[in-house]
Structure 1
């Protein structure tokens, strides 16, 4: 404890960096709590190091607390907006491009099924169907979801 007290600015800087690293590396900026506390601790350590603040326990606690709260108030909304931005990515699959014959009629109201690789897949229309696709129609997979294959008639997939 004496080592921490005699080297308080350096210890606060190290603790601040550690808190930020944990927030970024382990929590992935999910809570933001450690980010604000870490930045407050880092700023306090730097202020003590350059002589703006007295290197005492009371000053450290008050400064870390106040700077953390101020940073949280100022940066909360911009950080929340960054967290909420989601960039959906289309999943690629080896199933895309697979062609097979329908085992039953396929329409928007009536789904079909197809057994492939030991799994019974639900077959769904991959595009709006002007009319139902009859049993035996050759289709090609355009997209995949858990348990489902989206298909279009093979001749319509090469048209456009």
Structure 2
């Protein structure tokens, strides 16, 4: 145990990196507390390693508690803002652009059905499309293909 006492700064930096890896890889950066703790362990370990702070347990625990609190106070809002940013860009489906001839009248109610790729899809359109018309898929939702006349 005495031999580990000589490597406290290195152990703290290693523990901080492991905690950051768990936060990012396992939890997907969903909780910030492990991020703040890991960061404070790395910073405190580096400060001890350089010799600016004694590597004793009471000093290390107090420094980590204070540094974790300061990091949480400073970084909480920016990280929350970064996490709440979403991209509203619509993703294009592989079904979009598929052209076929409908066998039933297509309207907004979704009563027309079409079997494609082993799935029976409801067909919907903003305007009524007569049976036998060629249509193109413009949007795919769960179980629904939105079409327009070609």
SS in 2 for 1:37: helix
TM-score (norm: length of structure 1): 0.83
How many corresponding residue pairs?
150
Query: In structure 1, how many angstroms separate the alpha carbons of the residues matched to 2:129 and 2:86?
Result: 36
Give the C-alpha shift of residue 34 in structure 1. Answer: 1.5
Q: 1:136 aligns with which of 132, 136, 144?
A: 132
Name the residue aligned to 1:158: none
Q: Which moved more, 1:55-64 or 1:142-151?
A: 142-151
Give the C-alpha shift of residue 51 in structure 1. Answer: 2.2
Name the residue aligned to 2:144: 148
Consecutive unaligned residues of structure 1, counting only runs of 5 or more, are 155-160
Pairs within 5 Å for 1:90-109: 90-109=90-109
Name the residue aligned to 1:117: 117
Give the C-alpha shift of residue 98 in structure 1. Answer: 1.5
Query: In structure 2, how many angstroms separate the alpha carbons of the residues matched to 1:27 and 1:152?
Result: 43
SS in 2 for 1:113: strand
Give the C-alpha shift of residue 123 in structure 1. Answer: 1.2
CA offsets, 1:107-134, max 9 Å, x none?
A: 2345422112321101122xx43xx212
Consecutive unaligned residues of structure 2, counting only runs of 5 or more, are none
CA RMSD after TM alignment = 1.9
Divergent runs of 4+, >6 A: none
Query: In structure 2, how many angstroms separate the alpha carbons of the residues matched to 1:138 and 1:63?
Result: 71
Name the residue aligned to 2:62: 62
Name the residue aligned to 1:2: 2
Q: Which moved more, 1:101-110 or 1:17-26?
A: 101-110
Query: In structure 2, how many angstroms separate the alpha carbons of the residues matched to 1:7 and 1:48?
Result: 10
